[in-house]
Amino acid sequence: MHDTCTLQCQTSAAPSPVFPSFSPIPAPLPGQPTTVIVQTTIAVAGVTANNFDSLKASLKTIFANVLGVLESQLTLEFASSSRRFLSTGDIIVSIAAEDQAQSAAVVGDIRSSDFQTNLNTEITQEAATNTALAAVSVTSVSPPVLVTTTPAPTHAPTTTTTTTTTILQETTTAGGSSALFACFALIISAIIL
């Protein structure tokens, strides 16, 4: 056996398990509002940092129509990308859901296999009246992410906001047990507080 392997395999005591540490997330106080924001990043060909502002209103209308939400619930941001494609831009779409049912519906829409197709169909229809959208098409959609914001109690003169991000991905591998463990640890830490 190699010396390094021998040294690594020899222990003087039983190994102790190492558990991940989680910062507890404060639960909202009774009557305190909680906003759930669903975010996704959409890669769009034909949208750049230079033309994003001129296309933003039209894209907001398109995303609202496909997701079945009000335009006032949407926020669009152009994300700078490390990609070399100058004609493709990433747009971060944030949807402020009115309630848990609406956030679940939005997450379901984003996860659906035809979401990208529906966006491209809506863009094509809108391009009939807005020629600036003629060269625009969705090339990919990231999995949805939930961001929960809860205003902090107002016992101090300043107000802070706690933000929690949850990545929504389906796990079908053996690593699912570690995700389940992390979920339980998060729940237990919230109960302890």
Q: Where are the domains of the chain?
A: 35-192
Query: Around 121, how many Cα atoms within 13 Å sit in the side-chain half-sphere?
Result: 7
Confidence at residue 100, expressed as pLDDT on a 0 to 100 scale: 82
The model's pLDDT over 41-61, given as tens digits with 9 standing for 90+, comes to 999 999 988 899 999 999 999
Q: If you count them, how many residues does the chain have?
A: 193
Identify each DSSP E strand in 46-172 by its residue range: 74-79, 88-97, 137-141, 145-151, 161-167
SS3 120: helix
Please report which confidence band the pLDDT of residue 128 belongs to, taking 50, 70 and 90 as the band edges.
very high
Model pLDDT for residues 131-143, shown as the tens digit of each residue: 999 999 999 999 9
Counts for the chain of helices (H) and strands (E), in that order:
5, 6
Greater confidence (65 vs 31) lies with 65
pLDDT at 74 over 80: yes
User: What pLDDT, on a 0 to 100 scale, did the predictor assign at position 25?
Assistant: 44
pLDDT over threshold 50, residue 24: no
- The letter for the amino acid at 86 is L
For 31, what's the count of Cα atoms within 13 Å in the CB-facing half-sphere? Answer: 1
Say whether pLDDT at 175 is over 50: no
Once rounded to an integer, what is the mean pLDDT over residues 73-101?
82
